Every structure is written in structure tokens, then in C-alpha cells.
A and B are shown apart, each in its own frame.
Chain A
Amino acid sequence: MQITEDNFIEQLKNKNEKALEHVIDNYGWILKSVIKKHLFYLPDYHEECLNDCLMSIWENISYYDPKKSSFKNWIGGVAKYKAINYVRKYLRDLENENIENVTVITEDNALSQVLSKEISLETKKMLECLSEEDREIFMKLYFEEKNMDEISCDTGLAKPVLYNRLSRGRKKMREAFSLKGGSSQ
């Protein structure tokens, strides 16, 4: 079957590898552009992150909804989310390493400060329509991948309150996104 712009999403969902190749050929630049910017200080991770993005697109294409978002926007989001997670993981590893080695390397500290500030800013941008409190909950759930018990413990909020906040937050995001015309191709 020939893969075209009209059928590649459907074929991706059918697990046709040729459709993923279509994504690489036609949309790969988006992944590279986003990753290169957010992992500017971590060039060693570019290739790994790029491959990781492709695997995530492959495995999670069922969550993409063409009625709500353009594919470009969605995979741009995938790349940004992945890149931020790579930075987060790098910082976590660095922290563990510094604790183990006792010696704190000044250069690493400077870089970690820059990176921490950047991921904080970028995640804030992604969740900009939310209030500070709701954003914290979303970040813990989606970016730090904590479960509801942990979030409840961290925030001191009961789980029903958290569910309510999440539901409200998602609604806000949907409304904000549709106002911006985010589903246009």
C-alpha cells in the first residue's frame, strides 16, 4: 500500500512501518528542531531522544486526535515532552552522582541551574492556561509521572480534590486550545 499524506495516520495506527518512515521523511524535521532547541546543552542525547520520540509516536498514535490537533502540533508536543524529560533525567542523575561523589562540580552546577530554569519555563509554557496550583498537579502527574497517592501526599490535597482539579484543568486546556484554533492543519 502506498503511504500518502491522507492515509499515514491510519496506517500508523495499523502498525505499518512504512507510515512511520513517512513521518521521518516529512515530519522528522519537527522532531529535530524541537529536540535541538530543548537539548541544546545536551547534544549527546539528541539522537537517543529522536529515536525515543519515534518509538513514542509509534506506540501512542492512538491518542492523537486529528479533530483536535494538527499532527505537526502533536508530534512537536511529543518532542518537547520527551526533551524536557531527558533534561529532567539528566538533572536527576547529576544530583545522584554529586551526592555519591560528594565533590560538587561547579560547571555541572551552573549547567544544572540553567537547565532547571529552562525546563521550569518550558513546562510552564505548555501548561500556561492553568493556575499555579493546578499546574503543579499536572506537572507531577504528567511530567514527573507520580501517581495520585504520591501527589496527594506532596500537595496535602485529598484525591477527590485532585481529580476535580485535573478535570477542571483539562477542560481549561481544551477551551484555551480551541480558542487559539489549535486544531487547524
Chain B
Amino acid sequence: MKDCNNVYELLNYMEIDLDDYEKEMLSDKEKRSLKGLFKKKRRQRVLMQIGTIAAIFFLAIGFFSQTNLGKNVYAAVQLKVAEISYSIGVSMGIERDIEPYANVVDQIVADNGIEVKLSSVIIDKDELIFSIIVNTNKAVDMFRFDYDIFINGKKLTNYGATGRAGSITDSDSLFFHTQAVDVEGIDLKDDIDVRIVLKDMELITGTSQEKRKGKWQFDFTANGSELTANSRTIPIDYSFNIDNQEYILQEFRYNPVNQKIYGKVKGAFGVRYDVYLKGHDNLGNEVVFYLASVSGEDLEFKYSNIYSDLSDELTSISLTPYAAKLPEQSGKMSDDYRQVGEEFIIYLSK
């Protein structure tokens, strides 16, 4: 008889008499909220928001590669990653098929015990998105890494980035990771030469961190013309004020990968605020755009697909701005969001 050391297995043998409980139904609102929160929580678990300058991690194969045994092990590992493909769309949490806009790279580099496969890259306006699969070759909770990016031979400096990562089929050694890097003025029409160098991997298990020095370099060309051809831009003429600052929304640009609202923020910089735009589309779906970046006077709101992709069928979006003060020192974010402007509508049809 198989023993069970997990309480969830043991629960198969415990009787819960539901008649002992007063039946409490979930309202539709509660159901929607639970579904949304679950997606969010699940994403947070796999998410490694890497804020501005990204960090990464990798594993060590060095020892193994010194021996015949190691070579066999390494060969097996390489085969393992080579056989894995993981959609960049799934990696980014996008439900619709965005593979037609991805540049397939599929290069594998192993160093110091860690194997990395650069699967694909997407070029969008002011953004380079790359998707990797990492085999840490060791059970870990998560990993981090640093990286350098060169475009047409020029190294990017002072760029912002966000990342999303998670384990592949609940593995504790195989992970996907997608990184969206801000690249101002990236060429969207022609091929560009890209070099991505991952370095200084950190493997994290519980509270312990193991550093793995290494270099995982990928050279390839990429092109954003297909996605650009499927992008649309709608002008917006709307503004709202928070304290002494004016937020001017100028343009909604959308394509199958990204949906963003661009604008400017003007006026004396005072208290820092977290701002988002919330509303619904003409189909009744809730829509949220969060403030993704502020650089000088430029600002960018990005559609948050926590609930689902922005529908392909929509013809208009109604949004209202909300804001809450950011804590002056590090600490818990206030939940005290207040409406800071009137509702406005973006029409997508025609």
C-alpha cells in the first residue's frame, strides 16, 4: 500500500460532510474577482519583475564538462533543452497566436552547468522582447541574471525592462523567461543585428542564493516589419491633472503583441503617484492600462492582460484615470486610489 506523506493525498480519505455547512453561493462578482485574482497570483508566483536593469542567473556545467561522464550528462541535458519549445506568447501570458511576429532564433548555449536556449525575439516600437528557456540542471525556486544587449554593434545603456518567468510543466529545473527591454528608436523596417549576452546567473532556493559565473552569448538578426505592418495608431486628445502635473494622452498604438497609450507628463514634479486607466470595452470586458514607464516627459501606459487579451472584436474602449500616492519610503503601496479625471473613449473602428 502506497504511503501518503502529503496532506492533499490524505484528504482523499477524510470525510467532509457538506450537510454540516450552510450553503453559501458565490456571486458573479465574487467569481470574476476570484478568477482575476487567481490569474494575478499565479502570475506573481512566476513573475520576476526586474524593474529597471534586469538581472539573471544560470547553472554550472563546468565540473561535468571535465569528464567523460560529464560529457554524457551534458549531452543529455543539451538534448533535453533542444527538444523543448515554449511559445513566446505563452511565456508572455498572451492567449492569441503571436508566433507569426516572432523571429525564431533557437540557439543553445551552455556554460558553467547551465544551459540556455534563446527561442525567439519580437521587435516592436521601442521594445525588444526575447524569450529564453533555462535548464538550471538543479532544483531551484527561481533564477536571476544580468545581461547586455547590443543592437547593430552598439551596447544599450540605461534601459528599462520587465520580465516574466516561470517553471515549465512544474519542473524545478526547467524555466521559461521573457524579457521586454525598452529600446528607444529601434529600427522597425529593416533587419537589425542583435547580440544578447546573459551573465552572472543566480540560483535561488528559499533564502539561499548561488552565483554562477558564465557567459551565454547569442548573435542573430531580427526584424520587426511584420508586427509593424499589423500595428495601428489612434490619436487621443485627452488630459488630466494630478496636483501640479498635467498628464496628456496622445496616442493609442496596438498590435497583437502590445497595446499601449503614449503621452506626456508636464509640470513641476512633486509627490509620486501610481496611475492607471481603468474602464471597459464596448463588449463589456474590464480593461486596465497600467503606467509602464515615465522617461523625462514621456509616459507610457500598457494594457494589463491579467484577465485576458484585449479582444480583437472591440470597437471602443472607455477609460477613467485613477491615482494613489506612492509611499515616500519603501513600504506597502496605498490602496487609496482616487479618480483623477473624467471618463474618455478611444474609438478603434474606421
Contact = CB atoms under 8 A, between A and B. Distances in A.
B21 A34 contact: yes
A88 interface: no
B73 interface: no
A36 B21 CA distance: 9
A152 interface: no
A133 interface: no
Contacts of B14: 73, 77, 126-127, 173, 177
B13 A174 contact: yes
Contact of A28 (B3, B5, B10, B26): B26
B31 A170 contact: no
Contacts of A63: 4, 6, 8-9, 11-12
Interface in B57-73: none
B23 interface: yes
B25 interface: yes
Chain B: interface size category: 20 to 34
Interface string A41-63: 00000000011001110101001
A54 B42 CA distance: 10
A166 B10 CA distance: 11
A177 B16 contact: no
B104 to A, nearest CB: 24
A37 B14 CA distance: 18
B96 interface: no
Interface stretch (B32-40, B76-84, B214-222): B32-40
Interface residues of A, number: 49
A56 B45 CA distance: 13
A177 B11 CA distance: 10
Given A37-B21, A56-B8, A63-B8, 17 more contacts: A24-B26, A24-B38, A28-B34, A29-B24, A33-B21, A33-B22, A34-B16, A36-B22, A51-B37, A63-B6, A63-B12, A69-B12, A126-B14, A170-B1, A173-B13, A176-B13, A182-B13
Interface of B: 1, 3-16, 18, 20-26, 30-31, 34-35, 37-39, 41-42, 169-170
Interface of A: 15, 17, 20-21, 24-25, 28-30, 32-34, 36-37, 50-51, 54-56, 58, 60, 63-65, 68-69, 72-74, 76-78, 80-81, 126-127, 141-143, 166-167, 170-171, 173-174, 176-177, 180, 182
28 contacts: A17-B38, A20-B38, A29-B23, A32-B25, A33-B23, A37-B21, A55-B38, A58-B42, A60-B8, A63-B8, A63-B9, A63-B12, A69-B12, A69-B13, A73-B14, A73-B16, A74-B11, A76-B18, A77-B11, A78-B8, A80-B16, A126-B14, A127-B14, A166-B3, A170-B1, A171-B1, A177-B12, A177-B14
